Structure 1
Amino acid sequence: MSLRQTLSEFYPPKPTFTDKDLEDLGGKVYLITGGTSGIGFILAKTLYSKNAKVYITSRSAASGEKAISEIKESAASSHGELRYLVMDLGDLQTVVPAVKSFLAQETLLHTVWFNAGVMKVPSGSISKQGYELQWGTNVVGHFVMNKLLMPILLTTAQVAPKGSVRVVWVSSDGHSLLSPKGDGIDWEDITTRKSEGWKGEKGSMTYYGQSKAGNVLLAMELAKRYGNEDIIGVSLNPGHLKTNLQRHSNSALAKRFEGLVLHDPSFGALTELYAGFSDAIGTDNNGVYIIPWGRVGKIRQDIEAGFHHRGTGKKLWEILEKETEEYVLTA
């Protein structure tokens, strides 16, 4: 990953793929985590305007209903459908019933965007199952969803156009700039082993970067495991955006810096749109990493080397399978 790419991710060129490049999505089913605000909300609105059936996840029924009402009002001529699933990715006990509810309603799923996430959480924050909160939310919660959704994705891939069924993991350039050197992950500090008395020794942003490296590795590993069955794995940096991820920032310096580098979230939605629909992504480059506002990019060199030469994607996948087995088997 070059300095040139890093700079271009802060100040990207104009997007080349927008909603105008989308065909009618009538009859297609999509799922977006965290669709009540920010990028996910804008993406849901775009898909719905193209007549898709869109599911969003929400932490409460009230916020889900509010988002759906606002989206419908903005695209009154749409023939699509909107539904919400209540879940908290930081609590696996809420993830499983929400996914089961989705599967009870649908027989197809054309693309899922693992879009929701948390960043800059207070030091020592943990998920319901005892993970560092950013890891538990950004990685573990989405991994469980991925496992539960894979059967319906595989079914859809059998009838959908080749290369169109995708699992999009929203990472960030934090995977490169903030994660531990080597594999992007400190393998001794990702599980529940530190939950008792754990104080967040590395600092919130290092743990955030580690979670984003996890997203990249899982997208690549998914491509490796399911590419032969025509499932496409994608990870991406949506861009530096004005979203709720900054809600834990409170210093004047941080807010001043954010004012200089943050863009409107609509641009980030274009990055996610590109990841979900661009013909530049397919079986030939399965596992690709996308940068703002819709370009093929590169991940950090040591993380890529770890995946190809040290089996880090396989290692992470198997750790998460073992740790979440009880939730997947009881679904």
Structure 2
Amino acid sequence: MSCLSSALSELYPPKPSFTENDLPDLSSKVYLITGGTSGIGLALAKILYSKNAKVYITSRTDASAEKAAAEIKASVTSGKGEIRYLVIDLSDLSTIAPGVKSFLAQEEVLHTVWFNAGVMNVSKGSVTQQGYELQWGTNVVAHFIMNKLLMPILLSTAQTAPKGSVRVVWVSSDGHIMLSPRGDGIDWQDIGTKKPIGWKGEKGSMTYYGQSKVGNVLLAMELAQRYGNHNIVGVSLNPGHLKTNLQRHSNPIGSTVVSWLMLHDPHLGALTELYAGFSESIGLHNNGAYIIPWGRLGRTRSDIEAGFRDRGTGKKLWDMMEEETKELLFFDD
């Protein structure tokens, strides 16, 4: 398939082959979705809830979480599903451990986590509370910390769950292919924790966004290598081009035109995430897979693949994240 036909296939995908109708009853199963208060995450939460799962969503505030929970409950007229929430602000890494600690106090199993939340096209020079470029800090670093803190419960769950069913799903984007620097997909000299005073985001917001989405792909592949022998599957995906709050920082006129030409209903993106979380086409045999809309096996860019395979970029990123976040990888008493 040519690059053009591949890109068009992801912009205008064929009909989904895996939907909520292919899911079994999910009673006794526990799932976690970051950013489950709107867009794709909200749509996915509704699907899982309708199948009687216990679903946790994250939110920056109690108010937005309670509003989303009420909408999820109202979407199903009958059933045994549960919806709960954790207050976590991914742009402030200090909120992650308390949120995960709250989850672990309530649950003994976790069957799949979707690292779904993200930001895109932020103002130049935007940073997190800890000084990361905002997209890198939110999309990559925050989810890395969550993954590390959740890994013990995932490992425990995987000991008795069907092989290949416990999964960590990293939501990337085709922006990781189209917008990231050539070579490894990441400029290793420009992802340091602290940005200097007056930093302007010299590469441009969308380049930093693409770089953060490469981070998601690399972490999924590296997780597959580190934990595959423990029966845990790492997956990354492009959910599709969707009408969500991800465009909230974009020019409103441009966003309207783009929405009309190429954006789809968030439910379809939820089906991409559903495929990544449940399809038997994914498992330990192809751990680290990359999924494209609306639920198909795809491939990342050749230089990014080569970087992971030949230059150890997944390990490099993982080790870097562990070193930079080591003070946040524990729970306060």
Q: TM-score range by the shorter chain?
A: over 0.9
Query: CA-to-partner distance for each residue in 1:213-232, whole Å, 9 max, x for gaps?
Result: 00000000000000000100
- 1:254 deviates by 4.2
Q: Which amino acid aligns with 1:37?
A: S
- 1:251 deviates by 4.8
Corresponding position of 2:86: 85
Counterpart CA distance in 1 for 2:96 and 2:194 is 22
Counterpart CA distance in 1 for 2:88 and 2:23 is 29
Taking only aligned residues, the RMSD between alpha carbons, in angstroms, comes to 1.0
> % of aligned pairs identical?
73
- 1:292 deviates by 0.1
- 1:43 deviates by 0.3
- Do residues 26 (structure 1) and 14 (structure 2) align? no
Alignment of 1:273-292 (within 5 A): 273-292=274-293
Counterpart CA distance in 1 for 2:109 and 2:253 is 47
Counterpart CA distance in 1 for 2:255 and 2:300 is 26
- Do residues 116 (structure 1) and 117 (structure 2) align? yes
Structure 2, unaligned runs of 5 or more? none
Corresponding position of 1:97: 98
- 1:330 deviates by 4.3
Q: Which amino acid aligns with 1:192?
A: T
Corresponding position of 1:8: 9
Deviates more, 1:192-201 or 1:132-141: 192-201
Alignment of 1:240-319 (within 5 A): 240-319=241-320
Counterpart CA distance in 2 for 1:76 and 1:327 is 41
Structure 1, unaligned runs of 5 or more? none
- 1:166 deviates by 0.1
Q: Is the 1:289–1:299 contact (alpha carbons within 8 Å) kept by the matching residues of 2?
A: yes
- Do residues 198 (structure 1) and 199 (structure 2) align? yes
Q: Size of the alignment, in residue pairs? A: 331
Query: CA-to-partner distance for each residue in 1:169-188, whole Å, 9 max, x for gaps?
Result: 00000000000110000001
Alignment of 1:42-57 (within 5 A): 42-57=43-58
Query: CA-to-partner distance for each residue in 1:2-37, whole Å, 9 max, x for gaps?
Result: 332211000000000000000000000000000000
Q: Is the 1:132–1:195 contact (alpha carbons within 8 Å) kept by the matching residues of 2?
A: no
Q: Is the 1:108–1:153 contact (alpha carbons within 8 Å) kept by the matching residues of 2?
A: yes
Question: So what's the TM-score if we normalise by structure 1?
Answer: 0.98
Task: Name the SS of the counterpart of 2:98 in structure 1.
Answer: helix
Corresponding position of 1:227: 228
Q: Is the 1:124–1:200 contact (alpha carbons within 8 Å) kept by the matching residues of 2?
A: yes
Task: Name the SS of the counterpart of 1:125 in structure 2.
Answer: coil
Q: Which amino acid aligns with 2:239?
A: P
Deviates more, 1:258-267 or 1:248-257: 248-257
- 1:74 deviates by 1.1
Counterpart CA distance in 2 for 1:45 and 1:259 is 25
Structure 1: 4+ residue segments shifted above 6 A: none
Counterpart CA distance in 2 for 1:68 and 1:208 is 29
Deviates more, 1:77-86 or 1:190-199: 190-199
- Do residues 140 (structure 1) and 136 (structure 2) align? no
Counterpart CA distance in 2 for 1:71 and 1:193 is 38
Q: 1:313 to 1:279 in 2, by over 3 A?
A: same
- 1:192 deviates by 1.9
- 1:260 deviates by 0.1
Query: CA-to-partner distance for each residue in 1:102-159, whole Å, 9 max, x for gaps?
Result: 0111010000000000001011100010000000000000000000000000000001
Counterpart CA distance in 2 for 1:223 and 1:290 is 14
- Do residues 175 (structure 1) and 147 (structure 2) align? no
Q: Is the 1:236–1:291 contact (alpha carbons within 8 Å) kept by the matching residues of 2?
A: yes
Task: Name the SS of the counterpart of 1:51 in structure 2.
Answer: coil
Q: Which amino acid aligns with 1:97?
A: P
